[in-house]
Structures are given as C-alpha cells and as structure tokens.
Amino acid sequence: MKQVQWFPGHMFKSLREIREKISLMDIVYLLIDARLPFSSMNPEILKIVGDKPTLLLFNKIDLADRKTVDKWVQYYESLGFYTLLINSQNGFNINKIYSRSKEVLEEKILRKQSKGMQFNRVRGMILGIPNVGKSTLINKLVSKKATTVGNRPGVTKAQQWIKVNPNFELLDTPGVLWPKFEDENVGFALAITGAIKDDTLPMNQVVIYALEYLKEFYPKRLQERYAIENVSSLSPLEILDHIGKVRGAIIRGGDTDYERVYSILLTDIRNKNLGALSFDNRQSSI
C-alpha cells in the first residue's frame, strides 16, 4: 500500500486550535478505539499533549478482544499513562471518568491546597481520531444530546465547550488524523473499523487485508460465521467466493458479487457479528 494522504483542510485548523487551547486545560482525555490501541493513537496529538496530565480512554471496549486490550493497557501504563476502559454507547465506566481525573490531577490538587487554594473545577479537552466516539461520550456524560453524533468520520467540525456539571467542563474537538499513514497496518486497521471513509483506500485491498488478518488471528470466527471448512487452506479470493455463495451475493452468470461481499464482511466486523476483535496484534510494541 502506498502512503495514504488523508488531511482535509479543517484538520490543519483543528490542530492549530488544539495547540492554542491546550495550555488552558487541567487534563487531556485521549480517546482511542479499544480495537486499535496503537492505530487510533494519533502521533501528532501526542506531540501536542506533551507532559500535560492525560487520561487514556479505551472506548468501544465491548467490540474489542479483551486479552489484547489488557496487553495494550499494560504497555501504555508502563509509559506513564493513566487508563480507563469505557463504552460510550452503554455508559460502562463513564461515571468513573471524573473520579479518575482527580487521581490524575492529585499532584496539582495537593500543590494548590498547600498554597491555601481550592481546586473546585476540572477543565478537560477530549482528543481523538474521527469516529472514535467523542460526541457519544459527551452525550452520555451529560445525559442528553449535547453534540451532534454520527457513525461516520468527521461529524464534529468545530470546538465546543460542554458543562458536564458545575465542577466539570469539557472541550469537544473534531477528530484529527495525521497527514499520512506510513505503516500499512495502521491504514488498513483504520479502514476496516470505519475510522476513515470507505473510499480512502481501495476496498478490495481493505477486505483482503481483513481476511488475511482474520485467518491469522481469528480463523474460528470466519469458519463459524460463514460455515467455512479448512479456512486456513483457502485464499482470500476463495473465502470471498464462499461467502458470496452462502449469502446469495451472486450476479448474473453465477459470478460472485464482490462489492456486496465486501459490504457483508465489513458490516459483520463493525457490528460484532464476528465477535470481539482487535486489529493491532501485528504491532511490535506489545
């Protein structure tokens, strides 16, 4: 896969605004996709955050392979990050974010108290790539529709302050990617899970990568979902043809309707029909 350029103009603006506002924050919330603990971590954001107190939120934990997630949690905590597993859809652990924030900020709080000052309000910024669930998280925190939510990348276009409660304010920011994906594993992982638009990479390459990955790490899931025997001995094309037959994705003449099969496979992955998955098992960091 060639280096993929993905950097709409509004992302340049977003990065500039993040740099301008981050000094005002007590804490930064880095929201990552628990299925992609490495691929959804924007290196450009990490540079901006620097040594600012940070809480790393592993979102969509219900969709992720917990054994792999646990390894990544240990990895990030070894780097000094505070972590919390959450699900912004059903609210899992959302009520722990504020108390966990106070733990992250304990040193700052004690420093202020030693000077006779009170620390009564937490101001934080939520950062993450597109479609990682920032707006859904905020809506769950305030128990109402505070921001526009969508299941496609790039819904939030501007920064907006949200008051969770009198002691907790959040600055929502648009999802930001980095200028180009130099690691093809990262690009494909983002494409498979829908973090980038489906037309960013050639769909046939995305699906072939997904099948090869699933064959390597989750062969039984493929076998059970699509009634495939000896899945390890089949090529990605043969698996696509098999799925086409069992799902009726056939065009006139008996050929496989590959576009439909691509959609079937990616929908099954994204909707957990193949079970909880992780797509960063090939990364050498863990």
**For the domain that residue 30 is a member of, what is the CATH number?**
3.40.50.300
* Residue-averaged pLDDT of the chain: 87
Q: What is the model's pLDDT at position 9?
A: 56
**Tell me, what's the pLDDT at 285?**
62
Query: Which pLDDT band, with edges at 50, 70 and 90, does 78 fall under?
Result: very high
**Mean pLDDT of the region 8-17:** 70
Confidence of residue 152 (pLDDT cuts 50, 70, 90): very low
Query: Residue 180: inside a domain, yes or no?
Result: no
pLDDT at residue number 250: 95
Specify whether 106 is located in the same domain as 160. Answer: yes
- If one counts the domains in the chain, the total is 2
Examine the domain organization and report whether 154 and 35 are in the same domain.
yes
Task: Tell me the per-residue pLDDT of 167-197, one tens digit each, with 9 for 90 and over.
Answer: 899 988 877 877 677 788 998 999 999 988 8
Does residue 167 sit in the same domain as residue 233? Answer: no
What DSSP assignment string belongs to 203-254? HHHHHHHHHHHHHHH-HHHHHHHHT-SSGGGS-HHHHHHHHHHHTT-B-TTS
Looking at the domain assignment, is residue 88 inside a domain?
yes
Does one domain contain both 209 and 119?
no
Q: Within a domain: residue 275? A: no
Q: Evaluate if residue 117 carries a pLDDT over 50.
A: yes
3-state secondary structure at position 162:
strand
Each residue's pLDDT tens digit, 97-116 = 999 999 999 988 888 888 88
Percent of the chain residues past pLDDT 90, beyond the cut: 58
In a domain, residue 192? The reply is no
pLDDT for the residue numbered 209: 96
**Residue 240 within any structural domain of the chain:** yes
Range of the domain at 228: 202-270
Residues 21 and 107 in one domain: yes
Q: Is the pLDDT of residue 252 over 90?
A: no
* CA-to-CA dists, residue 116 to 24, 122, 166, angstroms: 21, 18, 21
Domain CATH number, residue 247: 1.10.1580.10
Would you say residue 148 has pLDDT above 50? no
23 in the same domain as 164 = yes
pLDDT tens readout for residues 221-231: 999 999 999 89
Residue 242 lies in a domain: yes
> How far is the C-alpha of 254 from the C-alpha of 244, rounded, in Å?
10
Contact 7, 179 (CB under 8 A): yes
Residue that is written with structure tokens 């797509």 in the block: 279
Are residues 124 and 26 located together in one domain of the fold? yes
Whether residue 208 sits in one domain with residue 118: no
For residue 125, the SS3 value is strand
pTM as predicted: 0.88
Do 215 and 114 reside in the same domain of the chain? no
Is residue 281 assigned to a domain?
no
Count of CB atoms within 10 A of residue 165's CB?
Answer: 11
Answer for the pair 15, 49: CB distance below 8 angstroms, yes or no: no
pLDDT band at 149 (very low <50, low <70, confident <90, very high): very low
Return the higher-pLDDT residue of 77 and 252: 77
Asked if residue 96 belongs to a domain, the reply is yes
Residues forming a β-bridge with 181: 4
Q: How far apart are CA 83 and CA 86, in angstroms?
A: 10
Same domain, 92 and 168: yes
How far is C-alpha 106 from the chain's CA centre? Answer: 28
Closest CA to 88 of 31, 153, 164: 31
Burial 189-226 (b: 16+ CB within 10 A, else e): bbbbbbbbeeebbebeebbbbbbebbbeebeebbbebb
User: Quick one: 166 and 207 in the same domain?
Assistant: no
Burial 239-258 (b: 16+ CB within 10 A, else e): bbbbbbeebebeeeeeebbb
Beta strands in the chain (DSSP E): 4-5, 27-33, 54-59, 82-85, 122-128, 160-165, 168-172, 180-181
Same domain, 48 and 122: yes
State mean pLDDT over 3-11: 57
Higher pLDDT, 157 or 71: 71
Ranking 135-144, 184-193, 250-259 by mean pLDDT, the lowest is: 135-144
- The helix/strand/coil state of 268 is helix
Residue 187: other Cβ atoms inside 10 A: 25
The two three-digit tokens of residue 102, written as one number:
């106070």
pLDDT category of residue 145 using cuts at 50, 70 and 90 = low
